[in-house]
Amino acid sequence: MTSVVVQVLRRLTKSERWQLGGIVGLIFLGMILEMLSLSLILPLVGLVTREDYSIATISWLPQVVKEFDQAHLLQIALGAFVGLYAFKSTFLLWSNWIQKSFSARLSTRFSDELFDVYINQPYNYYLNTNSSSLIRKSQNSGIFVGGVIDPSLSLLTDGSVAVALAILLIAVEPLGTVLVLTTFVAATLAFQRFTKRRIRHWGAEKNRLGELQLKILQQSLGGIRDVTLYGRQNFFREAYFKQIFDNAMITRKFDTVLIMPRLWLELITVSSLFLAVVVMNAQDRSLSEIGVALTLYAGAAFRVMPSVNRLVAAFQNLAFSRHLVKEIGDDLELVKMAKGSDAPPIKLNSGIRIDRVSFRYGPDLPWVLHECSAVFRKGRTIGIIGSSGSGKSTLVDLLLGFLDPTKGRIFVDEQDVRHVRISWMKSVGYVPQEIFLLDDTIEANVAFGVDTDFVDRLRVVEALNQARLGDFVFNLGNGLETVIGERGVRMSGGQRQRLGIARALYANPDVLLFDEATSSLDSQTEKELMSEISELGRTRTTIQIAHRLETIRNCDDIFRISDGVIALLNKNERLEVFGPTKSENGQ
Ligand SMILES: Nc1ncnc2c1ncn2[C@@H]1O[C@H](COP(=O)(O)OP(=O)(O)O)[C@@H](O)[C@H]1O
Ligand SMILES: [Mg+2]
């Protein structure tokens, strides 16, 4: 338990630790006020009910006060009493507000930091992490506060209440209290021992199930067309049911364990009362003696119980949060990619050089590329062909700097991509096989991730026209403002692709990379698009991976990847692959 608390405390900044200290102070002040207002009830009741109640014997009161008559005194006392309660209530309200504000700020900070970590990992991280896991942890990042700071504060509050009560009770009824305390401590420790491991396990299990739920939801709703078409609703429903059922069973056990301390402590109290009676009876104590002892014991027990109860609940909460806190704590330690939002894009001077690059996705996985060398010169159009699975997209990811070569290097002009990754990524317009679209307007999808106020509308229109999507967009009722639905469901495959191309063109990049980006277009549109792009200027370097040979037939250089090796096709090989061009035919 201490390890979780320490883990969270270590993450607080200096000022947050001070604030937390202040809050602990407020909690203690509140407790003192609480005690004070409680302890004033007895004398007040005395004043009201006893005719002969006198304050004349209280030495520290000034003479004037001692001379007040009872009715007058009663008024003053009641007034003071109400005043004290009003003050106490206001204070507690305020102190609570301060506490909640602290929790809210802290919780926000942790959630924000966690998201910052998750969105700034090297690409490799996402290849090996399911998004359900990241989503679940992001959604539950409040655990640092709700599952650790809050229960710890409650431990402090109730711990101190229990201690204060114990002191008060020991002063009034020593024997009973000591007996109660010993039994309670022993009983609580036994309970803790018995439940702690289970509760930790349930906490971990609940995390796993929560993640599974997200995964099932994402996969079934995300793949709804296939689910409907193949009629697999029940498959997902059953998986979903199993998971929520298991989850509910854990909640049932945990919630039951949460109310167990009270019942358990009551049982212990009553049994020890019984035991006390038996023992005292055996000692031949008088009945009235036994009666007094029992009253004291029971009184003490039932007054300490609620605090002990809450103490145990706080311990249980800490145990339950342990697993998630550890996981999130570890994630917060992940090294973020260097940020370079201000790094300027690179102006390509000579070209891209691939220098004996070999690549595999993991030490145990087969090599995808083997000792590949190639030069893509500036201003040229480059086509790459290769059968499916030959490593074309892998090469693209290496060129973009998403992946690092396992061996060898890739140079942009004479700089290693790894050293200029951020600037380099900004200089490339990239159109992937699958276009990721936001459920937002066409404009927001073209100027991806740019605040509406800063969008260059002229560029958006220009890019849409270049991508041969202009007519389509301006025939829509809302034009650029048209919302295209989740993942662009309201557009055709070809329109989605052209939107992706418009996005790549928006920043007017120096280098364009198309990874089978025109596969959904009809050949006429593709032809228009390609000639438009080649007209954009000869300073631009275009790398195209094509699915249809026709698309790249007119490229300046054509490479082929096969058996993990990239090779430039010479004239004969080109002829072999594409057949004679029309002009050559005519000769
Ligand atoms: N994240 C990955 N982890 C492991 N293997 C991968 C991964 N991505 C692709 N591969 C493998 O690498 C090879 C090349 O894939 P890819 O570059 O996508 O081919 P393509 O030429 O069709 O674009 C394939 O055998 C594929 O199974
Ligand atoms: Mg591919």
CATH number at residue 571: 3.40.50.300
Question: Is pLDDT of 587 > 70?
Answer: no
**Mean pLDDT score, 450-476:** 89
Among the three residues 332, 360, 384, which one is the final residue of a domain in this structure? 332
488 and 581 co-located in one domain: yes
Mean pLDDT of the chain: 85
326 and 358 co-located in one domain: no
Q: Can you give the C-alpha Rg of the chain in angstroms? A: 37
Identify the residues whose C-beta falls under 6 Å from ligand 1.
127, 361, 365, 368, 386, 388-394
pLDDT band at 446 (very low <50, low <70, confident <90, very high): very high
**Mean pLDDT score, 253-267:** 87
CATH number at residue 55: 1.20.1560.10
Give, for ligand 1, the residue of 128, 387, 393 to mutate: max count of ligand atoms closer than 8 Å to Cβ.
393
Q: Which residue puts its alpha carbon closest to atom 4 of ligand 1?
A: 361
Residue 65 lies in a domain: yes
Among 415, 419, 376, residue whose Cα is nearest residue 511:
376
Ligand 2 centroid – CA 517 distance (Å) = 10
Confidence (pLDDT) at 73: 75
pLDDT digits 0-9 by tens, 89-123: 999 899 989 999 999 999 999 999 999 999 999 88
pLDDT digits 0-9 by tens, 382-431: 999 998 899 999 999 999 999 999 999 999 998 999 888 888 988 899 99
Residue 45 lies in a domain: yes
pLDDT digits 0-9 by tens, 128-184: 899 999 999 999 988 999 899 989 988 888 887 778 777 877 776 677 678 777 888
pLDDT digits 0-9 by tens, 274-333: 887 888 788 887 888 778 777 777 777 777 788 888 888 888 889 899 889 999 999 998
268 and 362 co-located in one domain: no
314 and 392 co-located in one domain: no
Q: Which residue puts its alpha carbon closest to atom 18 of ligand 1?
A: 393
pLDDT band at 270 (very low <50, low <70, confident <90, very high): confident
Rounded CA-CA distance 516/211 in Å is 33
Q: Which residue puts its alpha carbon closest to atom 9 of ligand 1?
A: 394
| Secondary structure class of 412 (helix, strand, coil) | strand
**Mean pLDDT score, 511-531:** 82
Q: What is the DSSP string of 293-355?
A: HHHHHHHHHHHHHHHHHHHHHHHHHHHHHHHHHHHHHHHHTSPPPPP-TTPPPP--SSEEEEE
Q: Which residue puts its alpha carbon closest to atom 6 of ligand 1?
A: 361
**Mean pLDDT score, 502-519:** 88
Among the three residues 332, 360, 389, which one is the final residue of a domain in this structure? 332
Q: Which residues form the domain of 116? A: 2-332
Contacts of 270 (CB under 8 A, 6+ apart): none
Ligand 2 centroid – CA 548 distance (Å) = 13
Among the three residues 302, 332, 362, which one is the final residue of a domain in this structure? 332
Ligand 2 centroid – CA 516 distance (Å) = 7
Q: Which residue puts its alpha carbon closest to atom 5 of ligand 1?
A: 361
Residue 339 lies in a domain: no
259 and 392 co-located in one domain: no
418 and 312 co-located in one domain: no
More confident residue, 178 or 451: 451
- Whether the CA torsion 559, 560, 561, 566 is positive or negative: it is negative
Confidence (pLDDT) at 105: 94
pLDDT digits 0-9 by tens, 559-571: 999 899 998 988 8
Ligand 1 centroid – CA 19 distance (Å) = 52
Among 192, 169, 164, residue whose Cα is nearest residue 180:
169
Please give the share of the chain, as a percent, with pLDDT higher than 70: 93
Residue 233 lies in a domain: yes
269 and 179 co-located in one domain: yes
Rounded CA-CA distance 132/221 in Å is 14
Ligand 2 centroid – CA 562 distance (Å) = 13
Give, for ligand 1, the residue of 126, 368, 561 to mutate: max count of ligand atoms closer than 8 Å to Cβ.
368
Rounded CA-CA distance 555/375 in Å is 15
Residue 141 lies in a domain: yes
Would you say 153 and 27 are in contact if contact means Cβ atoms under 8 Å apart?
yes
Confidence (pLDDT) at 585: 47
Ligand 2 centroid – CA 473 distance (Å) = 29
Confidence (pLDDT) at 239: 94
More confident residue, 339 or 222: 222
Q: Which residue puts its alpha carbon closest to atom 3 of ligand 1?
A: 361
Ligand 2 centroid – CA 389 distance (Å) = 7
Residue 343 lies in a domain: no
CA distances to 208, 221, 238, 240, 249 from 234, rounded to whole Å, are 22, 13, 6, 9, 22
Cα-to-chain-centroid distance, residue 380: 44
Ligand 1 centroid – CA 389 distance (Å) = 6
pLDDT digits 0-9 by tens, 28-83: 898 888 777 777 776 777 666 766 666 666 666 677 766 777 777 778 878 888 89
233 and 374 co-located in one domain: no
59 and 191 co-located in one domain: yes
- Of the bound ligands, which one is closest to the alpha carbon of residue 391? 1
Q: At what angle do helices 150-172 and 287-332 cross, to 10 degrees?
A: 160
Would you say 515 and 432 are in contact if contact means Cβ atoms under 8 Å apart?
yes
222 and 293 co-located in one domain: yes
270 and 384 co-located in one domain: no
Instruction: Report the length, in residues, of the chain.
Output: 587
Point out the ligand 1 atom lying closest to the alpha carbon of residue 394: 17
Would you say 558 and 376 are in contact if contact means Cβ atoms under 8 Å apart?
no
pTM as predicted:
0.82
Confidence (pLDDT) at 57: 64
Residue 338 lies in a domain: no
H helix or E strand, kind and range, residue 544: strand 541-545
Q: Which residue puts its alpha carbon closest to atom 7 of ligand 1?
A: 361
357 and 328 co-located in one domain: no
Residue 545 lies in a domain: yes
Question: In total, how many domains does the chain have?
Answer: 2
pLDDT digits 0-9 by tens, 347-393: 888 999 999 999 999 899 999 999 999 999 988 889 999 988 999 99
